[in-house]
Chains A and B, each alone.
Chain A
């Protein structure tokens, strides 16, 4: 096994030795070329995000709309419970999967559907038969309307993707402006002990593989609901 490693690394070093590549093509002028300065951070080029929290929440809401994420600002946990109970009734949900956090527990307090907790593991078929999965998250990204989840913050890898409806409960303090900030936050939080799974979720699962026509719920959740609570 180390053999392949030596072979490949030797080939790479041989290929790179005294053999400088031209810098990214200075010769090419694109027809819609603007100024092209270097040594910048992605933040300067990516979609702009306001600095204030309310601007960020508004942007997240707008992005959610385009993505078909069902985004709700909830004044109180009671509001969030009300939204959940409507969903449960509409979908005639029998079984809901979740993991234990203060917020998921509070949200499910008065709920009457059966609960599957993934905290100590689960049977795949059991989880597959649930009508919805409720999870927390690491943070919300205003810039793109994405939600960063991880194994610890979302009850493992499958809870947020296997059930047909994914509900995320989050707090306004979890809003970050952009992707860069989200990745920085993950680094700060975990240092060298990253979870094995981190995912930016940006809207419900979708496909355009048939005639490039958008269909929601290809393999993952058909619906994605975000309940945002004040701190």
Chain B
């Protein structure tokens, strides 16, 4: 299958290794990965803040970039939800509504694509360590991704999954919310990190890099030695 990679802007700039892990995993499965270079940001920041005109401007770039793609796969539940769930709303009544719907239909979150579209759960990965998994809220509640990452982690050799009590609690990122209401956002982050610590895991894994940025921010502040990795990075380890 020819798969177009959707790399959210902050993954592009901060976590390129996550995007490479996705490429590696998909290519090892024998698929052809391309990267439409016109892409930039999905438009979520202005969208979530209420500036839908500006969000549409950014989103049109994505519509153009992925116009010829067969399927689009991205390693962030949040940005994929933006395309899959919110583009159709954003473009309602717009001349590009149909295009937005088409993109929504062919876009998939990475773990859900592996499990539900490709039907694979064992990628032959090896990863020694105790891991706890954080469900990114958009992946979890907008896209209904919950079992998929766990099915994939279950087949990683050497990996022990320790569920945290607050697995489904929001990390507090929420885009511009994190800087508009830093005290609340940080309080949520504290709850999350306390729950991570409680498990005794040495790595926190998520299918959303934006959550990991928030969680890492707190762990670093607390000088914690717990590592944070994107699911793709774990699945690409050998």
**Which A residues lie at the B interface, using CB under 8 A?**
27-33
Q: Would you call A27 and B144 a contact (CB within 8 A)?
A: no
A-B contact count (CB 8 A): 17
Q: Which 9 A-B pairs have the closest CB atoms?
A: A29-B144, A31-B146, A31-B140, A31-B144, A31-B141, A33-B144, A27-B85, A30-B141, A29-B143
Q: List 17 A-B contacts (CB under 8 A).
A: A27-B85, A28-B141, A29-B141, A29-B142, A29-B143, A29-B144, A30-B141, A30-B144, A31-B135, A31-B140, A31-B141, A31-B144, A31-B145, A31-B146, A31-B168, A32-B146, A33-B144
Most buried by B among A27, A29, A31, A33: A31
Q: List residues of chain A with CB within 8 A of the CB of B168.
A: 31
- State the CA gap A27–B85 with chains docked (Å): 8
Q: List residues of chain B with CB within 8 A of the CB of A28.
A: 141
Which A residue's beta carbon lies closest to that of B146?
A31
Q: List residues of chain B with CB within 8 A of the CB of A27.
A: 85
Nearest-Cβ distance from residue A155 to partner chain B, whole angstroms: 49
Q: List residues of chain A with CB within 8 A of the CB of B145.
A: 31
Nearest-Cβ distance from residue B142 to partner chain A, whole angstroms: 7
Q: List residues of chain B with CB within 8 A of the CB of A32.
A: 146
Main secondary structure on chain A at its contact with chain B? loop
Q: List residues of chain A with CB within 8 A of the CB of B143.
A: 29
Main secondary structure on chain B at its contact with chain A? loop
Which A residue's beta carbon lies closest to that of B141?
A31
Which A residue's beta carbon lies closest to that of B168?
A31
Nearest-Cβ distance from residue B49 to partner chain A, whole angstroms: 21
- State the CA gap A30–B135 with chains docked (Å): 13
Nearest-Cβ distance from residue B150 to partner chain A, whole angstroms: 12
Nearest-Cβ distance from residue A22 to partner chain B, whole angstroms: 11
Nearest-Cβ distance from residue A23 to partner chain B, whole angstroms: 15
Q: Render B139-181 as a binary contact track against A, CB cut-off 8 A, 1 for contact.
A: 0111111100000000000000000000010000000000000
- State the CA gap A32–B85 with chains docked (Å): 18
- State the CA gap A99–B142 with chains docked (Å): 57
Nearest-Cβ distance from residue B173 to partner chain A, whole angstroms: 18
Q: Which residues in chain B, 111-148, are within 8 Å of chain A measured between CB atoms? A: 135, 140-146
- State the CA gap A32–B142 with chains docked (Å): 12
Q: List residues of chain A with CB within 8 A of the CB of B146.
A: 31-32
Q: List residues of chain B with CB within 8 A of the CB of A31.
A: 135, 140-141, 144-146, 168
Most buried by B among A29, A30, A32: A29
- State the CA gap A28–B143 with chains docked (Å): 8
Q: List residues of chain A with CB within 8 A of the CB of B142.
A: 29
- State the CA gap A29–B146 with chains docked (Å): 12
Nearest-Cβ distance from residue A28 to partner chain B, whole angstroms: 8
Nearest-Cβ distance from residue A55 to partner chain B, whole angstroms: 35
- State the CA gap A30–B168 with chains docked (Å): 12
Nearest-Cβ distance from residue B105 to partner chain A, whole angstroms: 14
Q: List residues of chain A with CB within 8 A of the CB of B85.
A: 27
Which A residue's beta carbon lies closest to that of B140?
A31
- State the CA gap A80–B135 with chains docked (Å): 57
- State the CA gap A27–B140 with chains docked (Å): 14
Nearest-Cβ distance from residue B55 to partner chain A, whole angstroms: 18
Q: List residues of chain B with CB within 8 A of the CB of A33.
A: 144
- State the CA gap A29–B144 with chains docked (Å): 6
Which A residue's beta carbon lies closest to that of B85?
A27
Which A residue's beta carbon lies closest to that of B139?
A31
Q: List residues of chain A with CB within 8 A of the CB of B144.
A: 29-31, 33
Which A residue's beta carbon lies closest to that of B137?
A31
- State the CA gap A32–B140 with chains docked (Å): 10
Nearest-Cβ distance from residue A161 to partner chain B, whole angstroms: 40
Kindly list 14 other residue pairs between chains A and B, CB separation below 8 angstroms, not including A31-B168, A32-B146, A33-B144.
A27-B85, A28-B141, A29-B141, A29-B142, A29-B143, A29-B144, A30-B141, A30-B144, A31-B135, A31-B140, A31-B141, A31-B144, A31-B145, A31-B146
Q: List residues of chain A with CB within 8 A of the CB of B141.
A: 28-31
Nearest-Cβ distance from residue A108 to partner chain B, whole angstroms: 54
- State the CA gap A29–B143 with chains docked (Å): 7
